[in-house]
Structure formats: structure tokens, C-alpha cells
Amino acid sequence: MRDVLASAPGKVNLALLVGNLDASGYHPLTSVFEAISLREYVEIRGTLAGDSAQESTVEVRTLVYSAGPNAMQPRFDEKATVEFAPFDGPEHLAVRAVRLLVPTGVRLGVTVHKTLPIAGGMAGGSADAAATLIAVNEWAGLGYTGEELSRIGADLGADVPACMVGGLALGLGRGDAMTVIDPGTAQPEYSSRWWVAAFAKEGLSTPQVFRQFDALRDNAGEPQRVEAAQEVEGKENTTVSVPGESISPVLLAELQRPGVGIASAVTNDLAKAAFTLRPELRKVGSACMDAGAEAWILSGSGPTIIALSRTANHAREIAEAVDALPMVRETAVMWGPEEGARIEKNLPSWCLDVRG
Ligand code: C5P
């Protein structure tokens, strides 16, 4: 059977609005996702097992690439690849994605070309799952639609649907009930914007950030967004968002502006919690502004900081400036909104060809 190649984008959150912890231990989210041009590429090679009832065997190998401020393209990172090898097992989201679609009857080899930071709040794991789902769907001729694959993949990670649909998308619920606002483009266009991502040396745990968020809200006795919304119920209100349920039409309209027109609207409710845990992250944002960024924001639950820039060249200058900071591991320059998961004909030239 023929090999299949697919890719899926990472994401940034232009808005991340967080509600109160619910009984299931999660926080309802209103999130506006933007797919960005750092993509994960997934290659699938396989054969049918002799016995169709036999449990599928799946082997995964992840090759890690890094970007860097002056790199027009990602570069293979041997050290990071060796460090990632222990995670190339049954818990890898690509392996779990294969097993969801073809639990029995196949022998598959999966190569993941990873450009998104590990635990960086840019949905790298979810992008692996999304690209694998569409690759396996194609390879095995399963005929699922993108929407069906999104629904299947949401069990693997809350960001899988965002990586699948790409472009600009609104997520409600836990950020996973997805509505496409704009499908994005395959190449940068006049309406695209450029981002600098600064990846921190030290990771930040998502549950810890949410716990800190709860503690700050409890201590401050802040009126909850939901209560604030209820207070204005009955009156026409275009400025209130209820996390998990709605986004204010004003905010949504601002985030649909082209290019850096969104600068004053980007927002992340988790920022204060993340900066309480890791105050040095604010310095990364300030350095981006000093270098001329239009705006900066925490990406997801962090620790990645992203900054908005008018042009690719300017983004590279900002990246170079923040790359020198001690808490920054590396930087990447990217644009959005980009297309979602798609089948690819060829690997990009910077990917190692390991098929031999
Ligand atoms: O989605 P993920 O499994 O990465 O979430 C990790 C943890 O982050 C959850 O177990 C929960 O503690 C917290 N979380 C949350 N609300 C969300 C998403 C995650 O409280 N919407």
C-alpha cells in the first residue's frame, strides 16, 4: 500500500477566556484559535497484518527540528531527537490516533517531523494526532470527513479539532466545540500576520497554571465572568463573553481584523496565573515590545510567549532580540492564519528523508 504524508498546524490563542472550575475538574473555555505556519509532518508506511482480527502494531519515530531567529527553515536537532525518543511509545498521540481509527489488522510505521515545541502551549501533540488521523484515513481509505475526524480526535486532546480545521476558529465548552471563522491560507497573504514565538527553557504545567488561576480568583474575590454576564442579562450587551458559552460580538469582530489590526484585542485569562508562577516571562514580553512588536501575549497556558509583528523581517529582528534572553530556549518566526490538517505530496526540503 502506498505511503501517505500529512501535516497539521500548531495554534496560538488570540483570546482565551476562562470560567470557573466545574464539577468534572475542568474550566469552561471560550477560545479563538489561530493556526500558524509551524506544522508537524507525519509519514505513514504500512502493510495489512495477515489476520484482520489481530491487534494493530504501530511503531513511531519522532524527529525533532528547531527554528531559531535567523533560520528561514527549521533545522534537524539531533540532541532534542534523542531526548524525545523515550516518548516514542504507546502513549504518543500519533500512536493513539492510529489505534482509534484502525485498532486491528495493520502494521504501521509512523514518522513524526516535529517543529512545534514540546509542552509549549502551541498544541504540538494535538497537531501530531490531527495529521496522523487524516493520514491514516487516507491510507486505509476509511472515508471519514474532516468534521468526523475532528470529533474522533477530540478524545485525544482538546486542541485536536483546532489543528484539524486550522485558520481562525472559535472553541466553546472546553475549547473543543469548534466553529470555523476563516479557513486560513496555504501561503501568506495581505491579511496574514507575523508572529514571533519565544520558547522558555523551563516548562510550565497546565494543571498548575489552572490551579494558580483558581487561587488568584478566589483571593481577589473577583466577580466571575458568568456573574457579570448575568447582571446585564435582559439588556442588550455586546461586550460580555461567557467562557464556554459565548464570545462578545465586539471581541469577535476585533479578532477578525486583518494583520496586526487585532493587536489591542488579544487576551489571555491565564496570563496573570502563569506570570505569578514564572515572573520572568513578563520580561520576554517587554523585550518583544522594546524590539517594536505590536502586542504580546502568553500562548495558551504557557510558557511560550508570542509577539505580533507587521512584517516577516521585523519579526526576525524581534526574534533575534529575545533569543538573547537567558530564559529563552529558542525562538521561531511564523505567520497565520494558516490552513488546517492536509494531505501533502512531498516533505519540505528541510525534513530528513528517513525512508532510505
Ligand atoms: O487538556 P489537558 O489534559 O492538557 O489538561 C490538563 C489539566 O489542565 C486538566 O487535568 C485540568 O486540571 C486542567 N484543565 C482545566 N480546564 C481546562 C483544560 C485543562 O482545568 N479547560
* CA–centroid distance, residue 126 to ligand 1 (Å): 14
Our answer to whether residue 201 is catalytic in this structure is no
Q: What is the pLDDT of residues 173-205, one digit of tens each?
A: 875 678 999 999 999 999 999 999 999 999 899
Cα–Cα dist 236/22, whole Å: 27
Q: Assess contact for 25 and 35: CB atoms under 8 A.
A: no
Question: Alpha helices, DSSP H only, in 157-205?
Answer: 160-165
CA distances from 297 to 7, 104, 238, 354 (A): 26, 44, 24, 37
Please tell me the total number of residues recorded for the chain in this structure. 356
Residues whose CB is less than 8 angstroms from the CB of residue 341 and which lie 6 or more positions away in sequence, other chains included: 6, 7, 8, 9, 127, 130, 131, 133, 134, 146, 163, 164, 166
Distance of CA 169 to the CA centre of its chain: 12
Question: Alpha helices, DSSP H only, in the chain?
Answer: 78-84, 93-101, 124-139, 146-153, 160-165, 206-220, 225-231, 249-255, 271-277, 280-290, 312-323
pLDDT bucket at 111, cuts 50 / 70 / 90 = very high
Residue having the nearest C-alpha atom to atom 12 of ligand 1: 207
Annotated active-site residue in 77, 114, 128, 159:
159
Q: Return the pLDDT at 353.
A: 81
Q: Give the atom of ligand 1 at the shortest distance from the alpha carbon of 175.
A: 21
Looking at per-residue confidence, does 228 or 213 come out higher? 213
Mutate to test the pocket of ligand 1, among 18, 20, 26 (most ligand atoms within 8 A of CB): 26
Q: Give the atom of ligand 1 at the shortest distance from the alpha carbon of 174.
A: 21
Q: What is the pLDDT of residues 97-106, one digit of tens each?
A: 999 999 999 9
Q: Give the atom of ligand 1 at the shortest distance from the alpha carbon of 28.
A: 21
- List residues near ligand 1 (CB under 6 A): 25-27, 29, 158, 174, 206-207, 210
Residue having the nearest C-alpha atom to atom 4 of ligand 1: 206
Our answer to whether residue 214 is catalytic in this structure is no
* pTM for the full predicted model: 0.93
Which amino acid belongs to residue 231?
A: E
Q: Give the whole-number percent of the chain exceeding pLDDT 70.
A: 93
Highest mean pLDDT (candidates 135-139, 145-149, 223-227) = 135-139
Cα dihedral 41, 333, 265, 151, rounded to 10, equals 0
* CA–centroid distance, residue 21 to ligand 1 (Å): 10
Question: Alpha helices, DSSP H only, in 140-238?
Answer: 146-153, 160-165, 206-220, 225-231
Q: Return the pLDDT at 158.
A: 87
With 0-12 / 13-18 / 19 or more C-beta atoms within 10 angstroms meaning exposed / middle / buried, residue 170 is: buried
Cα–Cα dist 275/244, whole Å: 23
Q: Give the atom of ligand 1 at the shortest distance from the alpha carbon of 210.
A: 20
Cα dihedral 202, 205, 208, 209, rounded to 10, equals 80
Three-state DSSP state, 16: strand
Cα–Cα dist 264/250, whole Å: 12
* CA–centroid distance, residue 160 to ligand 1 (Å): 14
Cα–Cα dist 11/170, whole Å: 12
pLDDT bucket at 291, cuts 50 / 70 / 90 = very high
pLDDT bucket at 220, cuts 50 / 70 / 90 = confident
* CA–centroid distance, residue 107 to ligand 1 (Å): 33
Q: What is the pLDDT of residues 6-37, one digit of tens each?
A: 999 999 999 999 999 999 999 999 999 999 99
